[in-house]
Structure 1
Amino acid sequence: MFNHTTLIIIVTVIVSLLAWQNKALFNRLIFYPPAVSDGQWYRFVSHGFIHADSMHLLFNMFTLYFFGRAIEGLYQPFLGGYGFIAFYLLAIIVAMIPSYLQNKKNASYLSLGASGGVSAVLFAFILLAPWETIYLFAIVPIPAILFAVAYVAYSIYADKRGGSNINHMAHMWGGAFGVIATIILEPQVLPHFINALLSPSF
């Protein structure tokens, strides 16, 4: 069934492919703090529709496909339909704000990818089904809640360690946005999550 998750994936794939073929377009869309400070605020959104390479794109869209469809179907009406698109785009923006504040004048800082939005979708799903099995790298089975804990811990560790081209803080802030925004939009999800967490079913 065609849904808004599918629409986001199609647009992201098309824009990423076009950017790979056109370096000027790629440079106009990537998140570059000095350009943002000069008024190119659209980069807060546009960076989420380009990716470094095919594996980066595939991993993000693979994750979005499975969890985005679940969220659209289960969190009606707030995170269904156009509400889901708004949730996803806002997550991409919010996830990048801390990085922007830290690198306003850093002419060597660049960031790209949909990970902030994808993390928000993934963590919104975890609120609904904390013990649902997630397949890490599409192979290793792990309960969703344990994945969330490991994901946050690793993001903090990797960010402090540095030496990577991956914006780990954007992942974590995207996940945090997903949790907070979902609870605000669907308050009943919090008691549901607590009850599900205390009553694991394997």
Structure 2
Amino acid sequence: MNIVLLVILAANVLISYKAFNDTHFFRKYEFHIGSIRSGEQYRMFSSGFLHVDFAHLFFNMFTLYMFAPFVIANVGALYFAYLYFGSLIAGNLLTLYFHKEDYYYRAVGASGAVTGIIYSAILLEPNLYMYGIIPGYVFGFAYLLFSIYGMKAKNDNIGHVAHFGGAIGGFGITLAKHPFLISEEPITVIALLIPIIILFILAKMRKI
């Protein structure tokens, strides 16, 4: 396993495990609009290493483990790290934008970063199959549509909006490095762009 990926996986597991057993630690580093707007911008980064429970942690880390090697093989470990953290920040920036007036809004999770890696992997490997049976672009599309449902339901502490911000980050950062994908894989590019467009249409209509 690549050392950069291993470090990211280990950091998520160790920090999340610490937070599972320490409520004060969890509250200090989670994404919280009121705290961020009062000056605690470090939460924009730290919240990406916290998870709601073991299931949330496992799903994110397993998905990252499945998709990351495709990205690393195509762009290298350093650009992979840039993609991961760029998507994490992009996800939280979009969350801040959507909820800037909701001072009590809280969220945690590496979902933004992981979604960015999913998008990047699918762009770089259009014939990728998740779990050996689900086409990558179908998984990515479904993942973000589920996020729309999560945003509307608002029944958990998972950062669903961050999924979209992360997708935008992974999408943009990957195409910035390999712009030829737009002309060589237009169907994949369009398929991944559709749920992002749906989000902004719904937002403009105030449906989410």
TM score, norm. by length of structure 1: 0.84
Query: SS where residue 40 of structure 1 aligns?
Result: coil
Please say if residues 11 and 49 of structure 1, whose CA atoms lie closer than 8 Å, have aligned partners that are also in contact. Answer: yes
The within-5 A match list for 1:35-74 is 35-74=35-74
Instruction: Give yes or no for the alignment of 1:89 onto 2:105.
Output: no
AA paired with 1:121? I
AA paired with 1:14? L
User: Residue 102 of structure 1 corresponds to which residue in structure 2?
Assistant: 98
Decide which of 178, 186, 192 is 2:184's aligned counterpart. Answer: 192
Identity, in percent, stands at 31
Please say if residues 86 and 170 of structure 2, whose CA atoms lie closer than 8 Å, have aligned partners that are also in contact. Answer: no
Query: SS where residue 130 of structure 1 aligns?
Result: coil
AA paired with 1:114? A
User: Residue 17 of structure 2 corresponds to which residue in structure 1?
Assistant: 17
Q: How many residues align?
A: 189
CA-to-aligned-CA distance 1:91-112 (integer Å, 9 cap, x gap): 1111112221232342431100
User: Residue 200 of structure 1 corresponds to which residue in structure 2?
Assistant: none
User: Residue 30 of structure 2 corresponds to which residue in structure 1?
Assistant: 30
> In 1, Cα distance between the equivalents of 2:135 and 2:102?
39
> In 1, Cα distance between the equivalents of 2:120 and 2:33?
28
CA-to-aligned-CA distance 1:24-66 (integer Å, 9 cap, x gap): 2111110001111111111111000011111111110111112
Moved more, 149-158 or 171-180: 149-158
Residue 129 (structure 1) shift: 2.2
The within-5 A match list for 1:142-157 is 142-157=134-149
Decide which of 109, 128, 152 is 1:160's aligned counterpart. Answer: 152
Query: SS where residue 104 of structure 2 aligns?
Result: coil
> In 1, Cα distance between the equivalents of 2:55 and 2:79?
28
Residue 196 (structure 1) shift: 7.6
> In 2, Cα distance between the equivalents of 1:96 and 1:195?
28
Residue 3 (structure 1) shift: 2.3
Gaps of 5+ in 2: 190-208
CA RMSD of aligned residues (A): 2.1
**Residues 110, 128 of structure 1: CA spacing in aligned structure 2 closer, same or farther, 3 A cutoff?**
same
Decide which of 92, 104, 109 is 1:113's aligned counterpart. Answer: 109
User: Residue 169 of structure 1 corresponds to which residue in structure 2?
Assistant: 161
> In 1, Cα distance between the equivalents of 2:14 and 2:60?
14
Gaps of 5+ in 1: 198-202
User: Residue 122 of structure 1 corresponds to which residue in structure 2?
Assistant: 118
Please say if residues 52 and 158 of structure 2, whose CA atoms lie closer than 8 Å, have aligned partners that are also in contact. Answer: no
**Residues 39, 142 of structure 1: CA spacing in aligned structure 2 closer, same or farther, 3 A cutoff?**
same
